[in-house]
Amino acid sequence: MRARSGHIQFDKKVKWKSLVPAFRPTLLKFLEETQQLPEDMENVEVLIEENLRDLRKGRKPEGYNREGAMRLVFPISNKVEFYIYGRGKTVEVARVTEQVSRVLQKHRLKHTIEWDQLKLFAEKKV
């Protein structure tokens, strides 16, 4: 399957604080699968801690919105959700989204996956 973005939408019972135990393994899996894991893990630990601080306070975290092949973005929304975005329609986006979903399943966080929901990049149907 080729996709530009994979959207993980959590069940209504899942709150931001519910993501605390799963955030570190989720972000590390994302960075590992996208080959964006830096040699200097100190920067990653700071990023994880900043995101965890927001989650512990029940707020939407930053995610991983850096220059790179893919991004993990928490959109401005009232729902608990995030998406994985790639630069073009690739098989990698689907694969990485599925891998991240498995981590969330291990932490018993009920969610669904939708593909290519970004309105900015929606393909025009003629």
- Tokens of residue 24, six digits: 């570190």
DSSP 54-91: HHHTT----EE-SSSSEEEE--SSSSSEEEEEEEEEEH
pLDDT digits (tens, 9 = 90+) for 48-86: 999 999 999 999 999 998 888 899 999 988 899 999 999
Supply φ then ψ for residue 39, to 5 degrees.
-65, -35
Q: Is 126 within a domain? A: no
The single-letter code of the amino acid at 44 is V
pLDDT above 70 covers a percentage of the chain that reads 94
CA distance 33 to 55: 23
CATH of the domain at 86: 3.30.310
Given a cut of 70, whether residue 28 has pLDDT beyond it is yes
**Residue 43 is part of which domain span?**
3-121
Mean per-residue pLDDT of the chain: 91
Supply φ then ψ for residue 25, to 5 degrees.
-65, -30
Q: pTM for the complete prediction?
A: 0.89
Q: Is 11 within a domain? A: yes
Domain count, the chain: 1
Q: Is 34 within a domain? A: yes
